[in-house]
Amino acid sequence: MSKVPEWFLQELRQKVDIVDVVSDYVQLRRSGRSYSGLCPFHNERTPSFSVSQDRGMYHCFGCGAGGTVINFVMDIEGVSFQEAVIVLAERAGLTVPEGLGAGATQPNTKQQRHREAHDLAAQLYGYILMNMSAGVQALSYLEKRGISRKTIVDFRLGFAPNSQDVLVSALRRRGFQDEELVSCGLAVEMGNRIVDRFRGRIMIPICDKKGEVVAFGGRTMLPDGKPKYLNSPENDVFHKSRLLYNFHAARKFIRQQRTAILLEGYMDVISLAQAGISSGVASLGTSLTEEQAKLLKADADRVVIAYDGDAAGRKAAIRAIDILQGAGIDPVVLSIPDDLDPDEYVRTYGGEAFTRLLGRQTMSVVQFLLDDLRQTANLVSPVGRTDFVRSALQLLAQRATPVEQEYELRNLSQEFNLSVETLKEELRVFTKQNKRHREQSVERTAQSIAAQPLERAVSRASTELLKAVLFDEQAAAYVMEKGLTELAEPLQTALLAQLYAWRLANPTSDPSTFVDELEDEPLVQLASSLFFGDDIPEFSQDLLDDYVRTVERHHLEEDYRVLLRRWIEVEASGDTERAREIKLQVEQLQDQIATLKLPREQNAGGVKEAGM
């Protein structure tokens, strides 16, 4: 996976405490010999995320994420193996081996060229805005909107003039080829030549999590210009569904407060930051995505949705609520008075007023959804009022806590002159319906799990054999000598093959080095799970023989079932000769299965767990 010397990785593992690293992102509590917390990679309310300080590993028993501290930094920060090594080395005060730094900052030449081109473009656009006559109108526009020159510099704002090739010409002089400029989205083809993609627009750099410019948002200067905002196209470096505008700068403030402010537009973020509210981020011209919610989940427990109050903004807020709750984040919705957007409100009343607004005008999800129902309800007619009350009660049954239900029922009672008891009775009907739907869903899930053919015994035996090969050099040699090549599941079999190759090449290496060498994410997850659970036992030959017999018998029984069905089909067809041949094979398999029966199973009718 990497060109990092093994001696350096060993030193890094000794110097870096995985609990300290993970604690920067996850609130951990000691649980026995390990630490546990809510997984930062998926939505959960009950902790299933474990970190072993002794073994230097993490694993989530909910989503399967796991690996070493290097894997954790790769996953949580979205960086390469070498970049994660450098981050951890800097944290530990270690000097990286010569040549590693350059290799890590340029893991992909094409991607690095993309970043270099965008950084140079940001410099050029910024210079034009602040120092050239072509940028005077754009600079005046920003200042009229209350954006200070310091903020312009902080956010690296710029201006792309109407000239068709000012950027193309500049980057050609810096050695960039035309095809590079087109592929990274800074230029477009026009007939036989290429021209600047962005022209006559205020340029807003979009940065990745490390703060490097990877794209732009361009705002038109024309009153009727279309589109109002033009974003860079997606490519190898820029995926708008995976980034949030200003996340790199806002992250430390979000982490301090465990709260983020989710805004609709670039100018909302910039205005709030200038007013001293630094935890604002925005999605990039699209609705909030699951990937963006996962970014926030690592640092925030709560997100204030501060979208525009129009119909489109309310619709986007509802979508964001579902996505944030799906990621395990508690959303609230800010109600901004006078139909103003956040940028307009801050420019009109100031940052302190907006901060007070955050404390006074936030609504819970239930309050916001009830308010949204009210926006479209026909409260003039009796039928419309009845429909609204029923919809409100259904909403309370689905999403409200008992305290919220009590509070809102009293409000509904006063508004519509209905008794609280009548409303509660109707609410109970909806609650029962919801409970029945949930129970049916749970039952279907349970039936699905029960229908899985894999037996506990062979699953346990396969897992223990993987542990034996991973943690015990002598046990690994014995299992390889037995010639076992297939376990219960394809993924386990694939990991076993990788373990064999690793053991032969590294007979005395630390098991964590094996995990760092894996490139396939499902294999990393499976391998990391082996480090957790019960203490690693001593693998005697008798115990290993039990496990091997259990696995071999499992495969023979699968073959037996297939052959038995085939025998029945052939006999039914009237082919007595072929049926006799298959019957003989069935009997041979029965004999083989009987020879593999464990001594302690002689008085049992089924397969029991080996080694238990």
- Say whether pLDDT at 604 is over 50: no
| Lookup: tokens for 568 | 């029945």
How buried is residue 14: exposed, middle or buried, by Cβ count under 10 Å (0-12/13-18/19+)?
Answer: exposed
Give the sign of the dihedral formed by CA 35, CA 36, CA 37, CA 41.
Answer: positive
| Lookup: tokens for 240 | 């708008």
- Say whether pLDDT at 593 is over 80: no
**CATH class assigned to 242-358:** alpha beta
Give the residue-averaged pLDDT of 73-79: 81
- Distance (Å) of CA 42 to CA 45, 64, 241, 461: 10, 10, 17, 29
pLDDT digits (tens, 9 = 90+) for 160-197: 999 889 999 999 999 999 999 999 999 999 988 999 99
Q: 604 with 582: CB under 8 angstroms?
A: no
Q: How far apart are CA 581 and CA 578, in angstroms?
A: 5
Q: How confident is the model at residue 534 (pLDDT cuts 50, 70, 90)?
A: low
More confident position, 554 or 439:
554
| Helix (H) or strand (E) segment spanning residue 23 | helix 18-23
Q: How far apart are CA 486 and CA 314, in angstroms?
A: 54
pLDDT digits (tens, 9 = 90+) for 449-459: 444 444 678 88
Q: What is the pLDDT of residue 598?
A: 53
Indicate the DSSP class of residue 66.
E
Q: What is the pLDDT of residue 533?
A: 72
Q: How confident is the model at residue 103 (pLDDT cuts 50, 70, 90)?
A: very low
pLDDT > 70 in the chain, percent:
91
Q: 266 with 204: CB under 8 angstroms?
A: yes
pLDDT digits (tens, 9 = 90+) for 218-241: 999 888 888 999 999 998 889 898
- Distance (Å) of CA 1 to CA 64, 105, 137, 500, 574: 21, 16, 51, 18, 58
Average pLDDT, the chain: 86
**Cα angle: 10, vertex 11, 12; to 5 degrees:** 90
Q: In 3-state terms, what secondary structure has residue 86?
A: helix
Q: How confident is the model at residue 251 (pLDDT cuts 50, 70, 90)?
A: confident
pLDDT digits (tens, 9 = 90+) for 555-586: 887 887 888 888 888 877 878 888 788 888 87
Q: What is the pLDDT of residue 365?
A: 94
Range in 385-389, 550-554, 601-605 the model is least confident about: 601-605
Q: What is the signed CA dihedral for 397, 400, 402, 405, rounded to 10 degrees?
A: -80
- Say whether pLDDT at 444 is over 60: no
- Say whether pLDDT at 464 is over 70: yes
Range in 25-34, 126-135, 479-488, 591-600 the model is least confident about: 591-600
Q: What is the pLDDT of residue 196?
A: 96
Q: How far apart are CA 608 and CA 612, in angstroms?
A: 8
Q: 365 with 325: CB under 8 angstroms?
A: yes
0.85 surpassed by pTM:
no
Q: What is the pLDDT of residue 2?
A: 46
How buried is residue 419: exposed, middle or buried, by Cβ count under 10 Å (0-12/13-18/19+)?
Answer: exposed
Q: What is the pLDDT of residue 433?
A: 82
Q: What is the pLDDT of residue 597?
A: 63
Q: How confident is the model at residue 294 (pLDDT cuts 50, 70, 90)?
A: confident
Q: What is the pLDDT of residue 268?
A: 96
**CATH class assigned to 6-105:** alpha beta
Q: How far apart are CA 178 and CA 117, in angstroms?
A: 12
533: nearest Cα among 66, 141, 195, 21: 66
Q: What is the pLDDT of residue 24?
A: 85
3-state secondary structure 208-254: CCCCCEEEEEEEECCCCCCCCEEECCCCCCCCHHHCCECHHHHHHHH
Q: How far apart are CA 467 and CA 405, in angstroms?
A: 51
**CATH class assigned to 109-238:** alpha beta
Report CA 117 to chain centroid distance, whole Å: 29
Q: How far apart are CA 469 and CA 465, in angstroms?
A: 6
The DSSP annotation for 506-539 comes to -TT--HHHHHHH---HHHHHHHHHTTSSSPPPP-
CB atoms within 10 A of CB 587: 10
459: nearest Cα among 550, 544, 556: 550
- Say whether pLDDT at 446 is over 80: no
Report CA 325 to chain centroid distance, whole Å: 14
Q: What is the pLDDT of residue 603?
A: 44
Q: What is the pLDDT of residue 437?
A: 67
- Say whether pLDDT at 99 is over 50: yes
Q: What is the pLDDT of residue 297?
A: 85
- Say whether pLDDT at 252 is over 80: yes
Range in 356-360, 440-444, 457-461 the model is least confident about: 440-444
